[in-house]
Structure 1
């Protein structure tokens, strides 16, 4: 069987799909990964042993940095839809990042006037895959390519929750209220319609959400939707590199990790005071803190305590087996890596909203995301507008609630808690053995989920049933 994955051009999207793509490849299927030929990502795909299919021009940066790119939705529009749908506070915190931010990437990569979707469709027509597994954040262009080429197709939710399916239902149910508010009937359907019209493809729920969905997020974290799902175990993965000696040796003191994700540190200088506060909190503890942070996250820190080892990058699946505690931001990759290694959590979080407010360039600060920086590349043009980034990860509250429910860790509101309170929390999780029992419970749930190799026959059967 020929299988074509689509992937948003970022490592946090490459890593989750790698174990599933490798399992399908090891079962004898021909597997390719289509992506925007973004600087750095082609090499990432090659390093994990998969075959890349570059789309577009490798000399061009992400389309969201074009002057005509889709702009982040205004706070007023985001909240107007939320009011029309009568969203709860918890639902609102899901709706904000999905509608305000993620939909922009989906829109940009689905534009019929840019080469990414067109290249994907043309390649699918020529190669004729049997199955297309598409990344929702890269947009539904994979579904259009599957329809045009006669392939079965499904989504792979490696990097986000199933916001598209969840909020599609809420939008459809609130259509009268949305119209009464003077808003577009369904802005998410509108994103794909121009591309679908270009290729004569009918927009229906199958095009929007796939014929089924492969979901590596655990029960209790994923959103409830009616779409058919194939659960799969999230296998922590990062591209291989030579094993460092200090990771082989047993640590003399309890080892604690501080991992704050791979994404925002490319865009934002500083760390909202989180890293310096944690460094100060651990300075007098009999532990070794391994902080996987880069130069941008270290800005503003005058002193690194002697018991802190700063490593810009190390494979998390090599580091965590040596650790007694994992302090992290609540991203899926870092959270599930701790689950897979039975390590208790401290999830850093805040009480602020995920809503991003536009700021004039003149008011820019170190905690602003703009259209000028990505993968270490700075554009020549000064951006006209910037958006202040909340000091939290969208998944932070969800993972904090999940690990707390199982007794596998605690939440750390680092904005409100003092250095002394942070120190006490770290000592508490390290010394209270109940957290290890909670981590074991999460691990048992993870272990009970089918492995990537175990879902291969299911994927083969579904592809055969759904292929036109």
Structure 2
């Protein structure tokens, strides 16, 4: 069987989660390719997988251009919220879909750029049996239909997309009455589908099924077919550090605030400085994987904190008694097989709404300027001021992850806006030393171990691909 993955480019948070499944398929004798923008080729090669390079080689990815789409406005988000009859919790699901997920989805379905065309051309030539597409790259569904392959989405968080589409269908009359598009994702996909003579239907938007590595207790109830799969952590190849071979004399706490915010945010809101104060003098040893941008604003690094820009979490976490993290799904999942309790950085009750601000303020942290990325492109050539959006001081997945670990007894929430330094220090001490949190983490590990591994899922994918190939 030939299997084609599509992933969002230049984000380890999208590449690394697919590697164990891709290798499970290869180890079972299947041919695997990973399609993404040409700029991601080296990252893909570093995992031992074969890239399919999309887009013109002299053209940057669309997110690094002046034509990068800005998020939807809060006013439009709330018009939909009212028409859909959403409560406060459901409103956050809609924000996640319409302001966050919708933006990257719009990048690679464009008919005025070559990425989607190259993907379809490759699929027609290579003729995969199965296309597994990143939820942010729905062009994978078009490519699959164009070549007659079976296809499925790769779930990487709460399924706010299927939740939102089901709400739109349920409340179509109210949405139309409000003068709103009854299915903005279908409208987004329509030009690319029409280019290949296709109608946009539910299967083109949601896949024939979804490979889902999110714990059931964290997932939204939606009417889709899921193949549940254990999230096996992968963080690339790295020599095992010699200092990790020594058993720590005190409880060791890992601290990781993720890969994405260090690419877009200079500084870490006011979070890292406060956490560092909470750690100062605490009877624990801390390993903090933070770079200089994330440490911006920290007055001093405590003596009990080892700051290192990068270390493989699969090497570090088995030596740890707790982990402080930003609530990202990949980072959370890395701690589960190590049975490590969590301290999830999350501001309870703060909305994810992206709010436009009038102008770029060099002193402000947590702002998003479409088309820009720290270290890659920090200026714009377009006329007029670029749109600037203020980000909430938390990861998109932080609240569902923190709610889940609290419900499982495997961790606690670190709310740097509501909790004092002393309260944060006590929480860190408790989670790192209290056996109840360790027992909660062990229970989550048992659930994880009972979930089918990527190798277990391969026969399921073989069967589902055989049943669904050639279906329009």
The answer to whether TM tops 0.5 is yes
The TM-score, its normalising length taken from structure 2, stands at 0.96
Does the CA contact (< 8 Å) of 1:360 and 1:384 recur in 2? no
Q: Is the 8 A contact 1:266 1:373 kept in 2?
A: no
The equivalent of 2:203 in structure 1 is 206
CA distance in 2, matches of 1:68, 1:271: 27
Q: Partner residue of 2:393?
A: 391
Aligned CA distance change for structure 1 residues 103 and 435 (closer, same or farther; 3 Å): same
Deviations along 1:279-299, one digit per CA (max 9) or x if unpaired, are 111111121111111111111
Query: Distance between the aligned counterparts of 2:421 and 2:68, measured in 1?
Result: 42
User: What is the correspondence of 1:178-189 to structure 2 with a 5 Å cutoff?
Assistant: 178-189=175-186
Aligned to 2:29: 28
Assess if the C-alpha contact under 8 Å between 2:359 and 2:388 holds in 1: yes
User: Counterparts of 2:421 and 2:67 in 1: how far apart (Å)?
Assistant: 45
1:300 match: 297
Q: Is the 8 A contact 2:336 2:441 kept in 1?
A: yes
SS of structure 2 residue aligned to 1:295: coil
- Shift, 1:362, TM fit: 4.2
- Which consecutive aligned stretches of 4+ in structure 1 deviate over 4 angstroms post-superposition? none
| SS, match of residue 118 in structure 1 | helix
In the TM superposition, residue 97 of structure 1 has moved relative to its aligned partner by 2.1
- The answer for the alignment partner of 2:229 in structure 1 is 232
Hey, what's the Cα distance between the residues in 2 that align with 1:378 and 1:454?
Answer: 42
Alpha-carbon separation, structure 2, partners of 1:431 and 1:145: 51
1:256 correspondence with 2:248:
no
Q: What runs of 5+ residues in structure 2 fail to find an aligned partner?
A: none
Other structure's SS at 2:101 match: helix
Give me the whole-angstrom Cα distance separating, in 2, the residues matched to 1:336 and 1:435.
16
Shift of 1:372: 4.6
Corresponding residue SS for 1:459? helix
Partner Cα separation in structure 2 for residue 328 and residue 92 of structure 1: 25
1:142 and 2:140 matched: yes
- Structure 1 unaligned segments of length 5 or more: list them: none
Shift of 1:60: 3.1
Report how far residue 59 of structure 1 moved: 3.8
Aligned mates of 2:167, 2:35 — CA distance in 1: 31
State the superposition RMSD in angstroms. Answer: 1.3
Corresponding residue number in structure 2 for 1:431 = 433
TM score, norm. by length of structure 1:
0.97
Counterpart contact for 1:44–1:239, Cα < 8 Å? no
Equivalent positions of 1:56-75 (< 5 A) are 56-75=55-74
Match in the other structure for 2:457: 455
Instruction: Write the distance in 1 (CA, Å) between the matches of 2:374 and 2:119.
Output: 23
User: Deviations along 1:383-410, whole A, 9 cap, x unmatched?
Assistant: 5111111101111111111111111111
C-alpha contact (below 8 Å) 1:247/1:322 kept by paired residues: yes
Cα shift at 1:363: 4.1
CA contact (8 A) 2:251 2:433 kept: no
Distance 1:154 1:112 in 2: 22
Q: Secondary structure at the match of 2:70?
A: coil
Distance 1:241 1:313 in 2: 10
